[in-house]
């Protein structure tokens, strides 16, 4: 029996929700957990999610940005849930599309458009009447304003004048009296004089222009090449009649070509031939690529242009299908495995990208290569970005105000560098002005206490008591070998509280994830002492083994703990990160498995070689 069925958008708007009969629980918390853990963390490879006693199955609609979720009790085995969610998804899509393409809505839009068109036509068909003379500006002018005063400065008169467009005068129909005839004759004489003066000015202007042209510099002359030759030099260049003289190409024996010139000429010929061969090869490659894209555009082939170069050129506004994405996802999975990502993690990430892109509409200028690469980049950055920020310095200051030490426990398999990275973190804390107590709880491995004692001596030399107000900046708490690790950790924490140490670093024995006695001892230590932070120390060199280690460590801490809410791993310290070049897949595997952040990255053998993880740099190296 189902508990609820909900449909909501990726933006957080609930479109439809139904709670089945007899169910009174509130499902807001499980759905919020699904959104935070799966959708926001790009873990959509699996269509199922468990939250407490509730099992949820979901389906993504990338075209309309919708999420369909069905919830039921995980003790039940319901085989019809897949078909139910698929049928409801299809029916809801059809109804959603029909709602958008509703005929009544279209008719309403057409009516609004018709009203606006008619209003625009009426506005354009309005007849504009001319203004009368009384309404124009000329009616405001007087005779006094049109007369010219010779005593005034002409510049002042010009500034007062308004620019006006000249209008053509109406032709005079005929003489009405003697006065108009006289005026007309004087105007004609004035026009004739003006024409004569204009013709003189034009004549003088042409003459001046010719003078200027003659004074200009001479134009650029044709270039004469040395030893170019012409028809006049034919006889001098004809050496066919000189049969008795040596062939020296017109030069004396003293001007023959030297051996160095011959070698330089040979080198030049070889370089030019090489360039021609490269150009021919590039043309052949381009022709082959064009012929292959014409014959079969869907044939995917590997090239040296990178992981996504095989999909370049596939464009179009179409919905992405699983069949179209499968070749690139297979290639992407192989690429991630080659970068040291665990095989099952790589497959889950490919499934997540497939679910995210399936049904998505590509734009006209979007390619499958750019879309897949962008989606993968976003997913990887989101995975490496921690859900919660682990700020150790802030937490230590809060513990100081509470009057108790801040406790960090280190765990991991053998030989990964727990003690070395514990010393690096101790140095980092001392650099920030905190006093540190190291608890030697590795009572199993011979030499573990002596190793910590050596680190303590070196750190004490780097940070003498004078740098910490006359008190020791670092101290080692040890009880020898063969003792109970949980008891030693408790005594160390109490001693740190009495002596006012700020931080307690608990070193534990390295153990394989399948060693049950040692895993029980670790679970007991964490349960009894309740440390503030549990860090798993792992190597950056491992691939599939990283997933197995983390899963079994978390499972052992949960199984062998007596508390209702067992403590699991809170963060990861990734060691030997400087030895892997661009094979950074272990970071993705560990983070994806636990969902916990990578707090520190070890990049060398000295104490300052401790860094925080740059998610974008890791993703760039992973996709390179």
Q: What angle (nearest 5°) sits at the alpha carbon of residue 580, between those of residues 577 and 584?
A: 80
How many C-beta neighbours within 10 Å does residue 98 have? 10
Per DSSP, 38 falls in state I
pLDDT in tens, 389-401: 788 999 999 999 9
Both structure tokens of 474: 């670092």
- 538 forms bridges with which residues in the sheet? 574
d(CA 297, CA 410): 54
How many C-beta neighbours within 10 Å does residue 267 have? 10
Looking at the predicted structure, is the pLDDT value of residue 153 above 70?
no
pLDDT in tens, 441-455: 998 888 899 999 999
Q: Which CATH class is domain 392-616?
A: alpha beta
Q: What's the pLDDT at 109?
A: 65
Provide the percentage of residues in the chain whose pLDDT is more than 90.
19
Phi, psi of 619 (to 5 degrees): -65, -40
pTM score of the predicted model: 0.57
Angle between helices 615-623 and 585-594 (to 10 degrees): 120
Both structure tokens of 378: 């976003």
Both structure tokens of 492: 């160390």
Q: Contact 49/34 with Cβ under 8 angstroms?
A: yes
Helix (H, G, I), strand (E, B) or coil at 300: coil
Helix (H, G, I), strand (E, B) or coil at 14: strand
Q: Kind of pairing, strands 503-507 and 406-411?
A: parallel
pLDDT in tens, 482-505: 889 999 999 999 999 999 999 999
Q: What's the pLDDT at 585?
A: 85
Both structure tokens of 527: 């349960």
Q: Contact 447/622 with Cβ under 8 angstroms?
A: no
Q: What's the pLDDT at 410?
A: 95
Looking at the predicted structure, is the pLDDT value of residue 6 above 70?
yes
Per-residue b/e over 451-480, b at no fewer than 16 CB within 10 Å? bbeebbeebbeebeeeeeeeebbbbbbbbe
How many C-beta neighbours within 10 Å does residue 558 have? 14
> Which CATH topology does 2-106 take?
Beta-Lactamase (3.30.450)
Question: Is residue 150 very low, low, confident or very high in pLDDT (cuts 50, 70, 90)?
Answer: low
Q: Contact 98/104 with Cβ under 8 angstroms?
A: no
pLDDT in tens, 74-124: 888 888 888 888 888 888 877 777 665 555 656 776 677 777 777 777 777
Helix (H) or strand (E) holding 276: helix 259-295
pLDDT in tens, 272-291: 544 444 444 444 444 444 44
Phi, psi of 265 (to 5 degrees): -65, -40
d(CA 524, CA 218): 101
Q: Contact 318/359 with Cβ under 8 angstroms?
A: no
Q: Contact 59/6 with Cβ under 8 angstroms?
A: no
Question: What secondary structure does DSSP assign to 519-556, as a single string?
Answer: HHHHHHHHHHH--SEEEEEEESS-SHHHHHHHHHHHHH
CB-facing half-sphere around the CA of 172: CA atoms within 13 A: 9
Dihedral sign of CA atoms 609, 613, 618, 620 in order: negative
How many residues are given for the chain? 624
d(CA 368, CA 315): 7
Per DSSP, 482 falls in state S
Q: What's the pLDDT at 385?
A: 80
Query: Measuring CA to CA, which residue among 412, 341, 379 is closest to residue 587?
Result: 341
Both structure tokens of 430: 């001392």
């Amino acid at each position: 029996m189902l508990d609820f069925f909900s449909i909501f958008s990726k933006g957080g708007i609930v479109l439809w929700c139904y709670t089945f009969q007899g169910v009174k629980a509130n499902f807001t918390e499980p759905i919020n957990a699904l959104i935070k853990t799966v959708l926001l963390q790009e873990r959509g490879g699996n269509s199922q999610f468990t939250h407490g006693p509730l099992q949820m199955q979901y389906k993504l609609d990338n075209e309309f940005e919708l999420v369909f979720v069905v919830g039921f009790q995980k003790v039940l085995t319901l085989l019809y849930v897949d078909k139910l969610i698929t049928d409801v998804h299809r029916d809801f899509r059809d109804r959603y599309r029909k709602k958008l393409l509703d005929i009544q809505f279209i008719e309403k839009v057409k009516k609004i458009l018709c009203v606006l068109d008619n209003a625009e036509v009426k506005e354009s068909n309005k007849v504009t009447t001319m203004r009368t003379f009384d309404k124009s500006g000329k009616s405001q002018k007087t005779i006094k304003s049109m007369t010219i005063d010779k005593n005034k400065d002409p510049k002042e008169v010009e500034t007062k004048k308004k620019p006006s467009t000249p209008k053509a005068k109406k032709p005079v129909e005929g003489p009405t009296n003697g006065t108009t005839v006289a005026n007309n004759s004087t105007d004609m004489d004035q026009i004739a004089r003006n024409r004569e003066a204009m013709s003189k000015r034009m004549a003088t202007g042409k003459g001046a222009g010719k003078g200027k042209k003659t004074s200009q510099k001479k134009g650029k002359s044709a270039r004469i090449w040395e030893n170019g030759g012409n028809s006049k030099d034919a006889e001098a260049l004809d050496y066919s009649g000189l049969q008795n003289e040596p062939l020296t190409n017109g030069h004396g024996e003293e001007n023959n070509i030297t051996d160095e010139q011959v070698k330089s000429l040979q080198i030049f010929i070889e370089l030019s031939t090489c360039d021609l061969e490269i150009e021919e090869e590039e043309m052949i490659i381009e022709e082959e690529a064009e012929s292959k894209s014409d014959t079969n555009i869907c044939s995917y082939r590997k090239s040296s242009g990178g992981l996504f170069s095989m999909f370049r050129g596939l464009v179009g506004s179409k919905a992405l299908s699983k069949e179209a994405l499968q070749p690139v996802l297979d290639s992407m999975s192989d690429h991630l495995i080659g970068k040291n990502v665990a095989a099952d993690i790589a497959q889950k990430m490919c499934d997540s990208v497939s679910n995210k892109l399936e049904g998505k509409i590509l734009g006209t200028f979007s390619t499958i290569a750019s879309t897949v690469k962008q989606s993968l980049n976003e997913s990887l950055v989101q995975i490496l970005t921690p859900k919660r920020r682990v700020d150790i310095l802030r937490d230590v200051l809060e513990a100081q105000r509470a009057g108790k030490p801040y406790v960090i426990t280190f765990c991991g398999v053998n030989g990964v560098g727990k003690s070395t990275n514990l010393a690096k973190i101790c140095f980092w804390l001392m650099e920030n002005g905190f006093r540190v107590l190291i608890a030697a709880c590795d009572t199993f491995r011979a030499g573990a206490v002596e190793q910590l004692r050596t680190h303590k001596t070196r750190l004490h030399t780097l940070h003498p008591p004078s740098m910490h107000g006359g008190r020791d900046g670092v101290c080692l708490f040890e009880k020898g070998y063969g003792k109970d690790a949980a008891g030693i950790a408790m005594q160390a924490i109490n001693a740190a509280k009495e002596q006012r140490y700020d931080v307690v670093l608990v070193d534990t024995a390295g153990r394989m994830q399948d060693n049950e006695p040692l895993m029980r001892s670790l679970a007991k230590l964490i349960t009894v002492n309740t440390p503030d932070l549990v860090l798993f120390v792992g190597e950056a060199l491992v691939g599939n083994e990283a997933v197995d280690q983390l899963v079994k460590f978390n499972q052992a801490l949960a199984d062998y703990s007596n508390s209702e809410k067992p403590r699991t791993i809170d963060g990861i310290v990734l060691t030997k990160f400087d030895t892997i070049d661009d094979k950074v897949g272990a970071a993705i595997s560990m983070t994806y498995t636990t969902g916990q952040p990578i707090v520190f990255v070890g990049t060398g053998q000295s104490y300052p070689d401790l860094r925080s993880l740059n998610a974008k740099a890791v993703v760039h190296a992973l996709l390179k």
